[in-house]
Structure 1
Amino acid sequence: MDTSRPFSYREALHAGIGRGVLFGPRFARPFHGVRALPSDQTDAVSTASEAMLRLCSQLAPRLREGQFFSSETALALYGAPTPRGWVPAVHVAVHRPAYPPRTPGVIRHRLQTRMPLTRVVHGIPVEDPVRAWVQASRVWRPDDVVAAADFLVSPRRRLATIEELQHEARRIRGHKLDTVCADVREGSESPQETRLRLAIMRSRLPEPVLNLEIFDETGRFLARLDGAYPQYRVAVEYDGRQHADDPAQFARDADRWDDVRREGWDLVRILNHHMRDGAAPAVAKVRAALRRAGWPG
């Protein structure tokens, strides 16, 4: 029996591992009925998504047929941004008439009877990404819901389409997801880029074009801009780095920004501290650039 991965207590007994070993110091007990190697004997995790995957992998041996990870736990397993980051609990759901597991560390959901659309992600059962998004939207703030949706519909991932999100949102009575869907866009590549775009739109500035590719007069590719106003030749770039972690990449970016400016674009560079106070400093920088370019607003 492979004890390098989490396993159920019953599975271990059946394989001939004694109760004394299973209750001894050799194995951790992350959930009732589950055994795993202590965390210091497994690979370290560096992100909240990796930590969630580890936790779900530890619970997976306990799951029965029809039980699956749902809501924000499912979204985290797909890699989507979640507002709370790492939380030491997981969402598990079933469709009626079944019941989810009762154990500490599990947030239980008993869903309406419906054809399951679960997927296998990293070897464990996970709710359909569109359904998981709707489930999480019940308790998340609207901007966080949009950020997760932007991730799902990104051309780089294709986990969902805007039309699929809209269709599922219409099933939820009294929940104004239709207004959230109206703010979802393909092409946003980070939750902060999404929040910046939403702040710009709320401030009644023009909505930027996402991922506009620009070229010099010879046709040489210069850059793909996070946000752009081609009419005014204003480019908006979000840079979340606190410092130049990779000096070579930082130098390449600086050269790229110079190329963009030489082509007559006013480059507005947004840093983390510009996103405070609801991104008010960032919006002010974009507004000033647009006015310099002749925007009449």
Structure 2
Amino acid sequence: MDDSQLGTHISVGEALAAGMTREDLRRDDPWHTPFWGIRSRVEVTDLRRRAEAFIPRMPDRAFYFGPTAAALHGIPIPSRKETVALHIGVPTGQRRVDARGVVAHHVIIDVRDITTVDGLPVASPARTWCDLAAGGLHRHEVVAAGDRILWAAAPLGTVDDLRGALSRYEGRRGSKLMRDALPVLSAGSASPRETWLRVLLIDAGLPDPEVQLEVLNKWGRLIGHCDLGWARRRIGIEYEGEHHRSDAAQWAYDIQRYREMEQAGWIIIRVTAADFIDAPARSRIVRQITATFSARVRTFGVG
């Protein structure tokens, strides 16, 4: 039969009902078998494709959950929490999804906390934040996930959304961690490492750093932005990812920008991945920034 009108991912039962034979489905071209009972026209090579491919087997009230929901929303999670398995939740009392390659969950969840991403049923960004916090993330990782949800360039939700989800989740694992994280969240942080550094500085007792702060010269012209810092102290902190070194144009731009900032009286502290490699390295960079801040207080006064 002509199978061109069938979807990209179909169940074997749907294919047979449409007139295909089992011999048709055993052909290598065009069919792949990402899961038992599923045939796909495309090779399923990443998590989003896996999530799309499993839809013909998803029960009506099931939804993608936890790490899978985070990946579909684009919420960062640490590499130790990444998984190729699909995490699928169903409301408590429903039959769990039983399939190879699936981690099944019974979930107490409000209907307001289930949404869709490109047609896929998934726990909302705010509820996913709660589930990640309950899943063993560290404080800075919970803050980084919240920062991504609020990120002004492409927000997934609001502080009120997070508070609302937390109120419906209150009393369960991770609740205190989220309550403590809420006041620290920022819509300006552009990467998990920037968030981690900000949390390290706050937890070291420094005033909350400004995020994406403007650096002006003495004539009031904008020189550029720093990832973090304190404008009144003229301290800017830049997290330099690999592209800052590997991209020659970016490297040249950075050098010129930092030169102009220093000429305007700013101290620029550049932080790299090496400063996060272990606890001693993190302590060293925090001590450096703290010492710089203290010296600036002596220079500019306490106010």
- Cα deviation code 1:113-154 (max 9, x no counterpart): 632443221331221111111112111322211110110011
What letter corresponds to residue 235 of structure 2 in structure 1?
Answer: V
- Cα deviation code 1:247-285 (max 9, x no counterpart): 112222222222211211000000110112232232123
1:290 matched residue in structure 2 = 293
2:37 matched residue in structure 1 = 33
- 1:234, distance to aligned residue in structure 2 (A): 0.6
Q: Is the 8 A contact 2:241 2:273 kept in 1?
A: yes
- Cα deviation code 1:142-181 (max 9, x no counterpart): 2211110110011112212223212322332153121122
Cα distance in 2 between the residues matched to 1:282 and 1:20: 63
Structure with a larger share of its residues in helix: 2
What letter corresponds to residue 17 of structure 1 in structure 2?
Answer: M
Tell me: CA distance 1:161–1:14, structure 2 relative to 1, closer, same or farther (3 Å). same
Please tell me the root mean square deviation across aligned C-alpha atoms, in Å. Answer: 2.4
- 1:58, distance to aligned residue in structure 2 (A): 1.9
What letter corresponds to residue 204 of structure 1 in structure 2?
Answer: G
1:62 matched residue in structure 2 = 57
1:109 matched residue in structure 2 = 105
Q: Residues 131-150 of structure 1 correspond to what in structure 2 (within 5 A)?
A: 131-141=127-137, 142-150=139-147
Cα distance in 2 between the residues matched to 1:205 and 1:277: 21
Q: Is the 8 A contact 1:72 1:133 kept in 2?
A: no
Identity of aligned residues (%): 27
Cα distance in 1 between the residues matched to 2:62 and 2:85: 16
Cα distance in 2 between the residues matched to 1:71 and 1:260: 42
Tell me: CA distance 1:2–1:223, structure 2 relative to 1, closer, same or farther (3 Å). farther
Of 74-83 and 132-141, more deviation after overlay is shown by: 132-141
Q: Is the 8 A contact 2:113 2:126 kept in 1?
A: no
Tell me: CA distance 1:58–1:136, structure 2 relative to 1, closer, same or farther (3 Å). same
Tell me: CA distance 1:11–1:288, structure 2 relative to 1, closer, same or farther (3 Å). same
Q: In structure 1, the residue corresponding to 2:111 is in which secondary structure?
A: coil
Matched, 1:15 2:18: yes
Q: What TM-score do the two structures reach when normalised by structure 1? A: 0.87
1:155 matched residue in structure 2 = 152
Q: Residues 185-200 of structure 1 correspond to what in structure 2 (within 5 A)?
A: 185-200=186-201
Cα distance in 1 between the residues matched to 2:95 and 2:252: 56
Matched, 1:204 2:205: yes
Q: What TM-score do the two structures reach when normalised by structure 2? A: 0.85
Of 183-192 and 112-121, more deviation after overlay is shown by: 112-121
Structure 1 regions of 5+ residues with no counterpart? 46-50
Q: How many residues align?
A: 288
Q: In structure 2, the residue corresponding to 1:231 is in which secondary structure?
A: helix
2:258 matched residue in structure 1 = 257
Structure 2 regions of 5+ residues with no counterpart? none
